[in-house]
Amino acid sequence: MEQVLDKKKRKFEPKRAHRYYKITGFYEFVIDSIKKSMPPVIAIVIILLLVHFFVMEIPVALKYAVENLPDYGVLAFFYASETILGLVPPELFIAWAGETSSPVLNLFLLALFSYLGGMTSYFIGRRALKIPSIHQYLEVKMAKQLLMARKWGGILIGVGALLPLPFSMASLVAGMLKYPFKNWVLIGLLRFLRFALYGAAIFSIV
């Protein structure tokens, strides 16, 4: 009985947690997963840079789209952005929602489409496994990550859902590493919390 009470009284110890994560390979898993998911990100960045310098500046294009598209057009544009690695900051769209006639509804729709965009990315990752070259790459080069994904993948998704990091990228990696979809569905709901918190902050200043 006393041992049970002692365990309940134990506080979170950062040093012990850091040592545990280091020994179990959590840090290595996160770093390797990010490094090996960078090629598609780099490709998208190159495309955006080409558009920015040779077609239309990205900030100008975003401002034009937000100001001239109807609400459903902005939401569709946002869904596409959240599916394609989420490189456009959601804060821009949250600020847009604050200027509409139905800010709370549009904020909820943004959160929903962000969630669905991450889900789409997850399934893109799973479908990518059917491509022989990618399947071979994962089975050989990322065999260790495939084993670690079931243990640590939830933390990677949670970080992507809550923090200003591409949620789509975390979901894409989760799909490619065969992280259980039912777990993704539950952890991905943290995305709604992020939009609620950011919306409350941004709505107060716009």
What is the model's pLDDT at position 89? 76
Query: Poorest-confidence range of 42-46, 114-118, 192-196, 198-202?
Result: 42-46
CB of 167 within 8 A of CB of 86? yes
What is the model's pLDDT at position 114? 93
What is the model's pLDDT at position 177? 76
The reply to whether the predicted model has a pTM over 0.85 is: no
> Is residue 12 predicted with pLDDT exceeding 70?
no
Residue type for position 8 = K
Per-residue model confidence as pLDDT tens digits over 78-101:
999 888 867 677 887 888 888 788
What is the model's pLDDT at position 193? 92
The Cα–Cα gap between 92 and 58 comes to 13
> From its phi and psi, is residue 178 left (phi > 0), alpha (psi between -120 and 50) or beta?
left
Most confident option among 20-24, 62-66, 159-163, 190-194: 190-194
Per-residue model confidence as pLDDT tens digits over 106-164:
999 999 999 999 999 999 888 887 777 666 666 655 555 556 666 666 777 887 787 76
The Cα–Cα gap between 163 and 184 comes to 16
Neighbours of 93 (CB within 10 A): 25
CA nearest to 69, candidates 44, 90, 96, 42: 96
Geometric angle at alpha carbon 21, from 5 and 153, rounded to 5°: 105
Higher per-residue pLDDT: 41 or 46: 46
What is the model's pLDDT at position 137? 60
Band (pLDDT 50/70/90 cuts) for residue 9 is very low
Per-residue model confidence as pLDDT tens digits over 44-73:
567 767 876 877 776 676 667 667 778 888
